[in-house]
Amino acid sequence: MAAATFREDFYNQLGISPRADETLIRRQYRRLARLLHPDTGTQPDSAGFLSIQEAYDILSDPIKRREYDHWLREKNLFPPFHADILHGPHVLRATHSPQRLYMLLDLRASKEAANRPPIINLVLVIDQSSSMRGERLFQVRQAARMVAERLGADDYLSIVAFNDWADVVLPAQHRPSPTTLMEALNKLQATGGTEIARGLEAGFAEAQKFHTPGSVTQIILLTDGNTYGDEDRCIALAHRAAMQNMSMTLLGIGTEWNDHLLDKMADISGGQSYFLREPRDILRVFEEQLKNLRTTIASHMTLSITTPDESELMNVYEVSPGLKRLAPQDDGTYVLGALYNKPPRKVLIDLKITLTGDQRLFIPCTLDIEARLIGQTRPLPLRLATPLNIEAISESKLDYPEEIIEAARRAIVARLQEQAWEAVSKGDVQQAEANLALLVDRFLELGERDLAQLAEKELSRLRATGELSPEGTLELKYGTRMLALPAPPEHQSSEGA
Amino acid sequence: MKSCPRCGYANISNTLFCDACGTPLRDDIVVEPTRLYEEAVNGGGVDDFHRRAPPSERTTLVTGQWALIILPQRHMVRLPEIPSIVLGRGHHHKDPFIDLEPYGAHVAGVSRRHARLTRKGMGVYIEDLASTNGTYVNRVRIPAHTPTPVQPGDVIKLGRLKILIQSE
């Protein structure tokens, strides 16, 4: 009977996700009511006010809310993922001097939405230069066999080997038979140099053969060498992959590869780059990739952040599933990469706000998320803009959610280590030493003893020789990326008291 | 504006961690070096994180890792796993040494060679090295040249510099 009064966008109206608890629903309603109220609001909007009123009437009543959730589920209208924002502090101070605001964007797959596993279209692009000889190629063959065994009958696999030229050893096809695969893998011969762009171009061609909206297409590149002169072609390919909704996973093995290039390609395509210390790590990373691909909800997500004059965007960090500072693309958007069933993707947005008027409410920024969902031809847009109350409150009385503190704690670690590598590359040994010394403490505060010891070791090396070891640098850099926020709680906690 | 107690950097107000050095800028941010490690061991997620037991009720993991938390900035110095180390001020010492100068040791009346920390088995002992302003364990002044056991949670004071003892 109530169904007639239900509309599918009640959660969106209040700018919350179906994970929100009662406290958050109430707080969010009050914020919006203060903004939109026809008589007393700062941005009066009677139609807008009526629709949040309508949404609040249903969502604030546990019984009506359950009926509504049931109705959404029946109609298959539950969004495939939730987006929530946490603010720290949860109010702004009434002051005209600059103040900081942290926002944590939490994107996660919704349990309610029907979840069909996508068709996997996987391309392995394998370096077969002479340095890959022995253990490395042996492990590649093992890992490829594991991948083929675990693929479903509808999935696709292709393998490209490259050195100074590229060779499609397994053209894109459904799960190959063991004999076909063995013949393909036997063609891997470790000779010659490393020219990544050639391998990627051939891999890209294979990827396109079976790339559909219902498939999740990934190119996994494994290399152990530096590529020369074709960096721009590699970057261009990463852009093309992103445009076509494919991602790249880039694996560097040993210490002779170009981490900057691989990182950049990962950032552009929304994929990940890894440092593999041992050949046996290949199998583990392939397994992880396969698991992620199987549970992909959105193959690609981007975020754009629009700030009013009063807000200045300081930094944006990914704090889950990995830890790194995100750099904006040329068009100002941030590539967030794919969303899997688990873990959630969390982004820390660091703002400097200088209020000018004497308003009671302020919208620090507008977040526009664009997600390319599996099986959908058009990206799903989502806009989030939460007003915050402005109160006369002293700084010491401010309240920060625990998760914001933990995210900010990690963000500073990402920043300090980035500055350390910058200093090293500029030859500023003193700055690099200072940053490494700080990192030792920060790692210990996070309980990361191994990384702390590693940083300490590199610090003494730097003091003694003025240089870092390539292996230590890579281990620290990629080790820091693993310092994501710990596993998520099952229930949404409200934003402080 | 909020000056970092450690490096003096002028941070924007409401900042949680110093932009220059990462030092926590609010008193309510706890530095617990062993926290995530414990979680990993106990298999807890963020839920446990929020319901964390106070230190006294926590199961102690004896791994021999000790740390000094220098108050009030809560700056942490890890104790290296060596039999003995001297706390004081300055650089030019022959034996293993922790220089407390960066934490305002001079102003707090810490001597150049103030106290020695010694490991015996799983325990740690503190010995005052006839310092000018004395060494205190939980507000009680200890006699010079007498190793006194300390436990995690104890606050030692070198002159006026307070240090919290922690261990995993």
Per CB-CB distance under 8 Å, the chain B contacts of A442 are 22
Q: Which residues of B touch A485 (CB under 8 A)?
A: 46
Radius of gyration of chain A (CA): 25
At A305, which amino acid appears? Answer: I
The torsion angle over the Cα atoms of residues A107, A109, A110 and A116, rounded to 10 degrees, is 150
Q: Is residue A96 part of a domain?
A: no
Please indicate, yes or no, whether residues A69 and A146 belong to a single structural domain of this protein. no
Q: Residue A349: which residues within 8 A CB-CB, separation 6 or more?
A: A102, A103, A104, A105, A305, A313, A316, A365, A367
Let me know: does A293 contact A119? Beta carbons within 8 Å.
no
Contact A486 B13 (CB under 8 A): no
- Across the interface, whether the CB atoms of A449 and B39 are under 8 A apart is answered no
Whether residue A310 is contained in a domain is answered as: no
Instruction: Compute chain B's Rg from CA coordinates.
Output: 17
Determine the Cα–Cα distance for residues A264 and A261; give it in Å rounded to an integer.
5
Mutation pick from B16, B34, B74, B99 vs chain A, by most beta carbons of A within 10 Å, is B16
Chain B positions touching A400 (Cβ under 8 A) are 16, 26
Please list the residues that pair with A218 across neighbouring strands: A122, A247
Are A441 and B34 an interchain contact pair (Cβ–Cβ within 8 Å)?
no
d(CA A179, CA A198): 27
**Would the CB atoms of B2 and A402 count as touching at under 8 Å?**
no
B45 interaction partners in chain A (CB closer than 8 Å)? 486-489
> Residue A458 belongs to what domain range?
402-480
Whether A162 and A29 map to the same domain: the answer is no
Helix, strand, coil shares, percent, chain B, to 5: 10, 35, 55
Asked if residue A265 and residue A125 are part of one domain, the reply reads: yes
- Work out how many domains chain A is built from and give that number: 3
Partners of A350 in beta bridges: A102, A315
How far is A323 from A483, CA to CA, in rounded Å? 6
Residue A342 falls inside a structural domain: no
My answer on whether A49 and A197 are in the same domain is no
Q: Are residues A275 and A220 in the same domain?
A: yes
Alpha helices in A256-391 (DSSP H): 259-269, 281-294
What's A214's domain CATH number? 3.40.50.410
What domains can you pick out in chain B, each with its CATH number?
62-168 (2.60.200.20)
Q: Which two tokens stand for residue A358?
A: 């004497």
Considering the domain architecture, whether residues A34 and A153 belong to the same structural domain is answered as no
Q: Do A444 and B33 touch (CB under 8 A)?
A: yes
DSSP letter assigned to residue B64: S
Per-residue pLDDT of chain B (168 residues; tens, 9 = 90+): 788 887 889 999 999 999 998 988 887 776 554 433 333 333 333 333 323 333 333 333 334 678 888 887 778 888 877 788 899 987 766 777 888 888 888 888 898 899 999 888 777 889 999 888 889 988 888 988 888 888 887 889 998 898 988 876
Q: Are residues A162 and A56 in the same domain?
A: no
Angle, helix A231-243 to helix A196-209, in steps of 10 degrees: 20
**Which chain A residues contact residue B31 at CB under 8 A?**
445
- Indicate the SS3 state at residue A303: strand
Residue A350 forms part of a structural domain: no
- Put simply, the answer to whether A441 touches B76 (Cβ < 8 Å) is yes
User: What ipTM was predicted for this assembly?
Assistant: 0.85
Domain boundary among A78, A110, A130: A78
Residue A94 forms contact with B (CB below 8 Å): no
Give, in order, the Cα–Cα distances in Å from A352 to each of A105, A347, A369, B12: 17, 16, 21, 8
Quick: pLDDT tens for B60-95: 333 467 888 888 777 888 887 778 889 998 776 677
For residues A162 and A227, membership in a common domain is answered with yes
Chunked into runs of 10 residues, chain A (497 residues) has average pLDDT values of 71 83 88 87 87 92 91 81 89 95 93 75 95 93 94 95 94 94 93 92 96 92 90 95 93 93 94 92 92 90 95 96 93 92 92 91 92 84 88 91 93 94 90 90 83 89 89 93 74 41
Place of tokens 């926020």: A485
Beta bridge partners of A272: A249
Residues of A with CB below 8 A from B47's CB?
489-490
Specify which residues A296 forms β-bridges with. A340
Listed in sequence order, the residues at least 6 apart from A192 whose beta carbon sits closer than 8 Å to its beta carbon are A128, A129, A130, A163, A164, A165
Could you say which of A259, A294, A329 is where a domain stops? A294
Chain A residues in contact with B50 (beta carbon < 8 A): 402, 489, 493
Is B123 strand, coil or helix? strand
Within a domain: residue A85?
no
The CATH number covering residue A26 comes to: 1.10.287.110
Among residues A356, A352, A344, A351, which one has the least CA distance to residue A367? Answer: A351
The answer to the question of residue A382 being in a domain is no
CB–CB contact A448 B67 (8 Å) = no
Chain A to chain B Cβ contacts (< 8 Å): 96
Residue A340 belongs to some domain of the structure: no
User: Strand B113-120's sheet: what is its strand order?
Assistant: B97-99, B84-88, B113-120, B123-128, B148-150
State the smallest CA–CA distance between residue A319 and chain B in angstroms: 14
DSSP-assigned beta bridge partners for residue B77: B68
**Which of A388, A441, A446 to substitute to test the interface with B, most B CBs within 10 Å?**
A441
pLDDT score recorded for residue A3: 52
Residues A137, A1 share a domain: no
Asked whether residue A110 is assigned to any structural domain, the reply reads no
| Pair (A134, A265) in one structural domain | yes
State the Cα–Cα distance between residues A227 and A194, nearest whole angstrom: 6
Residues A131 and A71 reside in one and the same domain? no
Interchain pair B15, A100: CB under 8 A: yes
User: Quick one: A11 and A69 in the same domain?
Assistant: yes
Contact (Cβ atoms closer than 8 angstroms) between residue A282 and residue A139? yes
Question: How many angstroms separate the Cα of B120 from the Cα of each of A16, B64, B126, B136, B142?
Answer: 56, 10, 11, 20, 19
- Chosen from A86, A438, A445 to mutate, greatest number of chain B CBs within 10 A: A445
Of the residues A294, A322, A353, the one at which a domain ends:
A294
Helix A46-59 / helix A22-36 crossing angle, nearest 10 deg: 170
